[in-house]
Amino acid sequence: MRAVGLHRYLPINHPESLLDLELPEPTPGPRDLRVRVRAVAVNPVDVKVRAPKPKVEDPPRVLGWDAAGVVEAVGADVSAFRPGDQVFYAGSIARPGSNAEVHLVDERLAARMPQSLGFADAAALPLTSLTAWEGLFERLGVDRDGRDAGRAVLVIGGAGGVGSMVVQLAKAAGLRVVATASREESRAWARDLGADLLVDHRAPLRPQLEAAGLQHVELIFNTQSTEAWWDTMADLVAPLGRIVGIVETSGPLDLGKLKSKSASFAWELMFTRALYETPDMAAQREILARVAAWVDEGRLRTTRREHLGPINAANLRAAHARIESGQAVGKVVLEGWG
């Protein structure tokens, strides 16, 4: 099968940072779906995994944790899918990625694609939707059926891959969404997705929020550097408020800054369920199925912004470079093999 992977961890402008490869097709385990991959999206996790380091992979390492495709075979214990199903999923960071013509995913991590979307639009969604859903509805405790309507959430990085889904899910739950974006393009995108108020993360947030009548915000979803935003979040979070962070830190966080407000901080890692095979691992199938249903009902839309052509090393290098710029708006996808 065709695949794109790496032997060495190199800067993205190096022609061998991602390579076109021919690899043996994998054999599904009992709970696996064997999927013929039709489209993939690229996320910062690909860039982080690919970060230059003195290590050599043999066999090569395949990246990619967002895919849409067609089930062509199922393991002996699979009960929820059958060949021919069109699925979308992020999969597991502990397994080879989806930048391969044929890919394996545990059935508990995949769901049927939205019926109203093609493969490219569907591939844009899984990883960021899982992160946004788990962060908003599980870590921040927002009621997805609207019982928290009217409460304010601050989404730091509101136009990026994750932010684009947080903004939409928060709106679907009835929240008042304050999103940060620093450029005209990203502001327009976040506004279009439903953000009620845009603030600029390149300028101090407090004066901008106060100008809009907000002294504090009850809920903060930070999609960007946890460390860089820590003091600002501690200042802006309301007494008894909640913060969720998704970006790893290089040192400890000063939780003491939240003490007087009895505010809480929670981590969200969308790979946790897959990594630890938690008893509720199949919750990710449920989440993706709900996302698909909400898309088909018109409550959510794809966050695909750019289609970079077929899945090959050159196009994936371009997609990685786009993510590395730190100015991604929505999602970048690739579709088909060529």
Ligand X SMILES: NC(=O)c1ccc[n+]([C@@H]2O[C@H](COP(=O)([O-])OP(=O)(O)OC[C@H]3O[C@@H](n4cnc5c(N)ncnc54)[C@H](OP(=O)(O)O)[C@@H]3O)[C@@H](O)[C@H]2O)c1
> Would you tell me which residues interact with ligand X (CB under 6 A)?
43-45, 48, 127-128, 131, 156-157, 159-163, 180-183, 186, 201, 223-224, 246-247, 268-270, 323, 326-329
Nearer to ligand X, 71 or 270 (CB): 270
Angle 125-94-225 (CA atoms, 0-180°, nearest 5)? 60
Nearer to ligand X, 19 or 93 (CB): 93
Pairing state between β 32-41 and 331-335:
antiparallel
Residue nearest to ligand X according to CB distances in the complex: 160
Report the nearest approach of ligand X to the CB of residue 129 (Å): 10
What is the Cα 297 distance to its own chain's centre? Answer: 21
Report the nearest approach of ligand X to the CB of residue 146 (Å): 25
Report the nearest approach of ligand X to the CB of residue 319 (Å): 11
Other beta carbons within 10 angstroms of residue 54's beta carbon come to 6
Number of alpha carbons in the 13 Å side-chain half-sphere of residue 16? 8
Report the nearest approach of ligand X to the CB of residue 131 (Å): 4
Angle 110-333-99 (CA atoms, 0-180°, nearest 5)? 60
Contact 205, 236 (CB under 8 A): yes
Report the nearest approach of ligand X to the CB of residue 245 (Å): 8
Report the nearest approach of ligand X to the CB of residue 215 (Å): 21
Nearer to ligand X, 69 or 330 (CB): 330
Nearer to ligand X, 176 or 273 (CB): 273
Q: Which amino acid is at 17?
A: S
- Bond into 24 cis (ω within 30): no
Residue carrying the six token digits 């380091």: 53
Structure tokens at 1: 């099968």
Nearer to ligand X, 70 or 188 (CB): 188
Alpha-helical (H) ranges within the chain are: 44-49, 119-123, 126-133, 161-172, 184-193, 205-211, 226-236, 272-276, 283-296, 313-324
Nearer to ligand X, 74 or 181 (CB): 181
